Structure 1
Amino acid sequence: MISKTTIDQVYETARLEEVIGDFVQLKKSGSNFKGLSPFSDERTPSFMVSPVKQIWKDFSSGKGGNVVAFLMEHEHFTYPEAIKYLAKKYNIEIEETEQTDEQKEQANERESMFLVSEYANTYFIKTLWETEPGKAIALSYFKERGFTDETIKKFGLGFNPNEWEAFTKSALDNGYQLEYLAKTGLTIVKEHAEGETKKFDRFKGRVMFPIHSMSGRVLGFGGRILTNDKKAAKYLNSPESNIYHKSKVLYGIYYAKKAIAKEDRCYLVEGYTDVIQMHQRGIENVVSSSGTALTPEQIRLINRLTKNITVLFDGDAAGLRASLRGIDLILEQGMNVKVCSFPEGEDPDSFAKNNAYEDVVLYLEENAKDFIQFKTSLLAEEAANDPIKRADTVRDIVNSISKIPDQIQKEIYIQECAKIMQISEEVLYNTLAQIDKKGAADANKKIKQEQKAFEVVKNDQVVEKVDVQYELERKIIGILILYGFESDEFEDLVLRENDEGDLVMTSELSTLKVFEKIFLNLQEDEVEFTNETFRKVYFQLISEMNEKDSFQIKDFVNNLSQDYTNEVTSILMEEEKYDIHDWERKDIYPKMKRNSLVQLVDETVLTLRSFLVKKVVSSLQNKTLQNEDNSEILKEINDYNNLHVLLNKRLGRVLSF
C-alpha cells in the first residue's frame, strides 16, 4: 500500500495541465485550457482543464475529475498505478508497504497482464546486456544498425534467447501465472490429446522492440528474427489482447509526444528502426504504425497532439501507391497532410543514419509536398498521355479532396488541382458535387437500414419533467464548493406574528460566510437533500468548512470518493463550458455566478424553500381526501400557503435586483 504521505505529496506536486498536456494538445482559453476530447471522436474542442481548480471536464462524454481520475479513465490505471505514474513523473519517492500474496492474487486481469509485460521487458533487456548470446548476437545486430548504447537503453530494446521456453520458465519461476503469459501472447500454450500441456516462447531467438502506450506502459512487443529461417516471419508482433490493440497504438508515441506537441508536427514512418534512427539523429517527433495499415484510431491519437502530419515514404514506388489510402484517412480526420519521399533505395532509417541532423531537417523541409501536389505528380506520371487514365487520376484526386471536412480547404485544393492538371474548376466542382451527393445518399441508406433493424413502435411521447429539487440541490453544492468560504452581507428572513396575529416576514442584516448562511437556512426548515450523492457531499463540505481555517477546491476534490468525483466536476465546470465556444468574441457575455453572490444564494435557497412548502401543501391536500374532519389540516394548509406567498414575494425582490 502507498503511504498517505506519498499520496498527499503527489497531489500537492502534480500539475493537471502538465499531465494532461502529455496526452492532449491544450490551448489557452481565458484562465483555462481546452482541447479535443481524448474519449470521443470530435473535431471541435469540448475538453476543458482548469489549472486553478485542478480539475478537468469532458463535455462530450460527460467524464471529469482530478489528475488521478484522468489517468484512471484514459490509461485504465488502478488508483495505485496512477499515483505511481505521477510520482515517477515528478521524481517523488514512493513509500509503500509490501503487498501480501493475497493482495497480489486480487489484482485484476489487465493489471496482471501489464505486470507480466513489464517483467518480460526487464527480462529481455537483461538477456541482451548480461548474457553471452545477447551480447554476441543481438547487441551486435543493434550496433550494426547504427544504434548507440544510449539509444538501445532509451527504447528498452532486448533479446529473447533462441531456446524453446527460456523466458516462460523464468517468468514461472518468478511467480507469474501461465494464464497471463498466454493471454499476453508471450507464451504459446498447446494442449495435447494425452492431456499434456506444451508451452514455448512466441519470440524465441528474436531481438525485441517493446511497444508502449502514451503513458509509457508496455502493451506488447515486436520481435525480429536474426536467423535465415525462411519458414519464420521476419517480424512478429504480440497478438491482440486485453491490453494490446494494434489498431489503436503507435510505436514511439511515448517518446515522441512532447516533441510532437512542441513542434506542432508529427512525422509518420513505417517501421520500428525508422523511428529509432530518426530519434537518434535528433528528430524526435516521429511515430510508426508498426507495419500495419494506418487506422482512424491511430490518426486520432496524433490529432490530440497536433493537426499537422508529414508522411515519410521509402523511395519504393509500389510502396508509395499502397500508402496513398492512409492519406485519405488522415484527410477525413480534418488534418493537414504533407508527404515526403526519400531517394530511391533510401528509407527514413538509412537516410537518418547516413546524414547529419541539419541535412535531414533541410531535406524534409525542401521535399515535403502538400498531399495534392504529391498525389497529382505521382498519378499524373502514371497516366502520361492516356486520356482514360488521366480522367481516372483526376477523379481519384477529387475523391481525396471530398474527404476534407473544411469547405475552404476543399475549394483551395480544387483550384490547385485545376492548375496542376490543366482542367477547368467547374468540371472539378461538378465531380466533387457528384461524389458528395453519392456519399450523402450512402449515409442516408445506412441510417435507414439501421433504423429498420431497430424499428420500434412509437407511443405518444412523454416529455420528461425537470426534477426541480435535484437541480436546486445541485446548484447549492456548486455554490458551496465555489464560494462557501467567502463572506458577504446577507438579509436574513425572520417570520414573526404582527399585532393581528398574521405571519409577516421581517429582515435582519448580518455578515456570514456563504456556507453558514446556507446551513442555517436549511436547518431552519429541516431540509434534507433527497439525492444521496448531494447529501453526502453536502455534509462533507459543511464538516470541512466548519473544522478548517481555509478551503481549497483541489484538496476537496482530491479527497472526494471516486463515486462522487464525476458529478462534482460537472458542477464545478458549469461556467467553463462557455469558454469552449468563445462567446465573448461574438459579443455575447454569459452571466457568471460570482457577479451577484448574495442574489445567487438568496434566490437558490428561497426557491428550494418555496418548492418544498408547495410539496407539503400538496401532501396535506391529499390528506383532506381521506379524512372527514379537516379543520386542523386546512388551518395548516392556510399557514403554509401564507408562507409560500411571503417566500415568493421575497423571491420576487431578489430576482429584481
Structure 2
Amino acid sequence: MISKATIDTVFETARVEEVIGDFVQLKRAGTNFKGLSPFTDERSPSFMVSPVKQIWKDFSSGKGGNAITFLMEHEHFTYPEAIRYLAKKYNIAIEETEKTDEEKATADARESMYLVSEFAQRYFQDVLHNTEEGKAIGYSYFKERGFTSDTIKKFGLGYSPEGYEVFSKEALGKGYQLEFLESTGLTIVREDGRMADRFRGRVMFPIHSMSGRVLGFGGRILTNDKKVAKYLNSPESDIYHKSKVLYGIFQAKQAIAKHDNCYLVEGYTDVIQFNQAGIENVVASSGTALTPDQIRLVNRLTKNITVLFDGDAAGLRASVRGIDLILEEGMNVKVCTFPDGDDPDSFARKNTHESLVAYLESNAKDFIRFKASLLMEEAANDPVKKAGLIRDMVTSISKIPDRIQREIYVQETSRIMDISEDILQNTLAQIFQKDISEAGKKMKQAEKEKAFEVVRNETPETLAKVDILYELERKIIEMLLLYGNQDAEFEDVLLKTNEEGEVVEVAEKKEYKVYQRIYLSLQEDEVELANPMFRGIYNDLIGYFNQEETFALDQYLQRLPEEFQHEVTSILMAEEREKLDNWEVKQIYVKQKDQSIGQYVSETILTLRWFLVSGIIEELKSSISPEPDADNSEPLSLAMDYHKLINSFSRKLGRVMSRYT
C-alpha cells in the first residue's frame, strides 16, 4: 500500500494543467486554460482547467475534479495506478506502508514480473529495429502487412531472435533473475537446467493491461513449420490471465469511451489494421472464447459492443455463442460480417477510413436479425430445425436483464420469424422457470415493482420552490468551499434594554470564521440542507474545518468521496463557466463575491431563512379551516409571528416582501 507521505508529496507536486496538458491541447484563457472536451465530441471548448484552484471541469459531460480524478476518468486508472503514474511523471520515490513479510514477497514478485515483461518488450523492439535479423525478418513482415512505422511503435511490436537462449542470456546479463523469467513464461527451464527462449524466431505482440503495463506476449512464427503452433501466447501467470485481458484495450480505451461503442475482433492484426485505418475503438479476444471478465472490461467504458466476424460460416456459428454472454452483462450487441474471403484485417487494408466507417454503419445488424439470417439458411424449409432456431433466439433474449429490452426483442423475433408473440412469451416463461434461481426471481419481482412506480406530477409552483431551495443550498456549499476558513466581519443584532427601559435592537460587529458563522446560523434555526448531495458535502466540509487548521483545496479533494467530487468541481468552476461563455460581452455582469464576504454570507443565510419561513406560513395558511365555527386562532397567531420575522428579514435585506411569496 502506498504511504500517505508519498500520496501527499504527489498531490503537492503534481500540477493539474501539466497533467491534463499531456492529453488535451490547452489554451490560455485569462488565469485559466480551456480546451475541447476529451470525453465528448464538440467544436467549441467547454473544458476548463484552473491552475489557481488546481481543478478541472468539463461542462459538456459534467465531469470534474483534480489531477487524480482526471487520470481515473480519462485513462480509467484505479486510484493507486493514478498515484503511481504521477509519481513516475514527477520522479517521486514511492514509499510503501508496512506489510507482512509474505505480503512484501508477493508484491515484490509481481513487480519483478512486470519489470521483466517491460524489459522484454524493449528488447524485442530493439532487435526488430536495430539488428539485421530483426529488420530482415520481423520488420519486413510487419511492412508486408501494411503497418507503418508509427503503428509498429504505437503497439510496441518487436521480434524475438532465432537463437536458442539469446534473450534469456541478455536478460540475465542485465540483472534480471531467472526465477521471474521463468514465472512470466519468457524462459523455459528444462529438467537438465538448460534454458530456452519461449518465443524464439517470432514476431512479438505485447499484451497490455488497461493502465498500460505489459502483462504477456503473443508471438507469431513466420515459417511454414507445421510441427509448431502458428501463434504462441505467454502462459498463465500471477500477472497474466488471458480470460481477463483484451488485446488493444490500453490503446482503445479513450476512443471506446468517447464513441460509446467498442468493436470486438478476433486477432492482433485485426486490431492493429483497424487502428491504423483510423478506427481506434477496437479490441480483440486474441483467439480465445469470449469470457465474462473480458466483457466487463468493455462494460467499464461503454454499454455498446459491435462484434465483427469474417465471412466464414463455421467460424460465425462458433463465435456467435459469445453474444449471449454479452447480453447477460446487460450490454447492447450488434454484429457485422465482412464479405466472403475477408476478415477485419484484410477489409481494412482494402478500404479508406471513410469507406470502412460507412460499411460498418450500414452493415451492423441487431443481434436478433443477425442470428435469424445466419441460422435460417440452415433451417430452410425444415420445421423441426426452424423450431430449434426460434428456441435458440428466445434463449438469447432470456439472457437480457432489462425487461423492456426483452419485450422489444420478442416483438422483433415474432415479426421476423412469423410466429405469435404469445408463443414466444410462453417459451420465454418456460426458460425462466427452468433456469432462473431464487435470487433471479427476487430481481424479477423488483423489476416488476419498479415498472409500476408512479412518478408524482409536480406542479410548476412546487418545481419553482425546489429550484430556489436548490440554488440557496448550493450557494452555502460554494461559500464554504471558497471562503470557509477565512475570517470575515459579521453584524449581530442583539436585543438590549436602553436607558428608558425599552428593549431595542442593537447591531454589533464581530469576526468569525465563515464556516463557523454558517454552522451557527443553521444550528440556531435547526436547519438541515434538503438536498442529499449538498447535505453530505456540508457535513463533510464542517467536519474537515473542525479537524484541520488550514484548508487546502487539493488535499480536501483528495479525501472527498468520489460521488461528491463532480458536484464540488461544478460549484468551484462556476465563475470559469461564466468566463467561458463570455457573459460580459453579452452584457450579463456577475457580482464578484469576494468584494464583501461577510455581507454575501449574511444575505444568503437570511434569504434561506426567508424562503423556509415563507414555506411555513404557506403550510399554516393551508391548515386554516374555512368553517365559520372553526377555531383558527393558533395558526393565525403563528402566521402573524412568522410574518414579523419576514418583516425583519425584509428590513435587513432591503427587499420587498413579495419576492418569495
State if a TM-score over 0.5 links the two structures: yes
User: Is residue 82 of structure 2 the alignment partner of residue 83 of structure 1?
Assistant: no
Q: Would the aligned equivalents of 2:76 and 2:211 in 1 still touch at CA under 8 Å?
A: no
* TM-superposed deviation, 1:541: 2.7
From the superposition, tell whether residues 184 and 82 of structure 1 become closer, same or farther in structure 2 (CA, over 3 Å). Answer: farther
1:54 counterpart residue number: 66
Q: Which residue number corresponds to residue 145 of structure 2?
A: 145
Residue type matched to 2:205 in 1? F
CA separation of 1:573 and 1:371: change in aligned 2, threshold 3 A:
closer
- CA offsets, 1:579-613, max 9 Å, x none? xxxxxxxxxxxxxxx999869999xxxxxxxxxxx
Which secondary structure state, in structure 1, belongs to the residue aligned with residue 549 of structure 2? Answer: helix
CA shift, 1:357, in A, is 2.9
SS of alignment partner, residue 290 of structure 2? coil
Q: Match for 2:183: what amino acid?
A: K
Indicate how the Cα distance of structure 1 residues 326 and 481 shifts in structure 2: closer, same or farther if over 3 A, else same. Answer: same
The answer to whether the 8 A contact 1:478-1:571 is kept is: no
Q: CA deviation at 1:320?
A: 0.5
The residue aligned with 1:223 is 219
Query: Which residue is equivalent to 1:465?
Result: none
Give, as a single letter, the amino acid of the residue that structure 2 aligns with 1:142: F
Map of 2:13 onto structure 1: 8
Q: Aligned pairs, how many?
A: 496
Aligned to 1:42: none
Quote how far apart the aligned CAs of 1:233 are.
1.6
When residues 442 and 144 of structure 1 are mapped into structure 2, their CA distance, relative to the original with a 3 A threshold, is: farther
After superposition, the Cα gap between the structure-2 partners of 1:507 and 1:213, relative to the gap in structure 1 and judged at 3 Å, is farther
**Distance of 2:368 and 2:381 partners within structure 1:** 20
State the distance in 2 between where 1:135 and 1:292 align.
Answer: 30
User: Who is 2:158 aligned against?
Assistant: 158
- In the other structure, the counterpart of 2:263 is 267
- Equivalence for 1:205: 201
Provide Cα deviations, 1:422-450, integer angstroms capped at 9, x if missing partner. 11111111111222233334656999xxx
Question: RMSD between aligned alpha carbons?
Answer: 5.1
Taking the aligned partners of 2:400 and 2:145, their CA distance within structure 1 comes to 39
Distance 1:346 1:569, change over 3 A: closer
Q: Give, in whole Å, the separation in 2 of the partners of 1:576 and 1:295.
A: 38
Q: For residues 164-175 of structure 1, what are the structure 2 equivalents within 5 Å?
A: 164-175=164-175
The answer on 1:257 being equivalent to 2:257 is no
8 Å contact kept, 2:10–2:86? no
405-414 vs 218-227, greater mean Cα deviation: 405-414
Structure 2 counterpart of 1:305, from 301, 304, 328: 301
Classify the secondary structure of the residue corresponding to 2:433: helix
1:284 shift after superposition: 2.1
Q: What are the superposed Cα offsets for residues 204-260 of structure 1, whole Å, 9 maximum, x if unpaired? A: 211100112223222211111122333322111112223222222211122222332
CA gap 1:121/1:567 in 2 versus in 1, 3 angstroms? same
CA gap of 1:242–1:441, structure 2 versus 1, over 3 A, is closer
**Residues 334-387 of structure 1, C-alpha deviations (whole Å, 9 max, x = no match):** 222111111222111111122333332332223221111110111111111221
Equivalent positions of 1:98-137 (< 5 A) are 108-137=108-137
Aligned to 1:529: none
Separation of aligned partners in 2, 1:27 and 1:350: 29
1:517 positional shift? 5.6
Partners of 2:20 and 2:283 lie apart in 1 by: 26
Deviation per residue, 1:129-154 (Å, 9 max, x gap): 11111111112222222222232222
Deviates more, 1:167-176 or 1:298-307: 298-307
Q: Following the alignment from structure 1 to structure 2, what is the Cα–Cα distance between the partners of residues 443 and 318?
A: 37
Q: Deviation at 1:128?
A: 0.8
Structure 1 regions of 5+ residues with no counterpart?
34-47, 56-64, 88-93, 448-476, 495-505, 522-532, 545-550, 559-564, 578-593, 603-652
Distance 1:66 1:366 in 2: 37
Structure 2 SS opposite 1:133 = helix
> Which residue is equivalent to 1:541?
548
Kindly provide the amino acid, as one letter, of the partner of residue 83 in structure 1: A
Q: Within 2, Cα distance between the matches of 1:66 and 1:16?
A: 14
Taking structure 1 as the reference length, the TM-score comes to: 0.63
Give the alignment's TM-score, normalised by structure 2. 0.62
- Secondary structure in 2 aligned to 1:385? coil
Tell me, in whole angstroms, the C-alpha distance in 1 between the residues paired with 2:205 and 2:239. 17
2 CA distance for matches of 1:424 and 1:98? 65
Please say if 1:281 is aligned against 2:277: yes
1:557 aligns with 2:536: no
3-state SS in 1 of match to 2:217: strand
Greater shift in the superposed pair: 152-161 or 354-363:
354-363
Q: State percent identity of aligned pairs.
A: 57
Q: For 2:78, which of 74, 77, 84 is the aligned residue? A: 74
- For the 8 Å contact 2:247–2:283, the answer to whether it is kept is yes
Change (3 A) 1:236 1:3: same
**What is the one-letter code of the residue matched to 2:216?**
G
* Cα distance change on mapping 1:311 and 1:574 into 2, 3 Å: closer
The letter for the 1-side match of 2:155 is F
Asked whether the 8 Å contact 2:71–2:82 carries over to 1, the reply is: no
User: Counterpart of 1:181?
Assistant: 181
**Contact 1:267 1:311 (C-alpha < 8 Å) held by counterparts:** yes
Alpha-carbon separation, structure 1, partners of 2:414 and 2:324: 19
Report how far residue 76 of structure 1 moved. Answer: 5.0
Distance (whole Å) between structure 2 residues aligned to residue 79 and residue 418 of structure 1 = 53
| 1:316 Cα deviation after fit | 0.9
- Counterpart amino acid of 2:122? T
CA contact (8 A) 1:205 1:225 kept: yes
- Displacement after TM superposition at 1:393 (Å): 0.6
Cα gap change, 1:208 to 1:515, in 2 (>3 Å): same
Deviation at 1:167, TM superposition (A): 1.1
1:366 correspondence with 2:355 = no
Is 1:383 paired with 2:388?
Answer: no
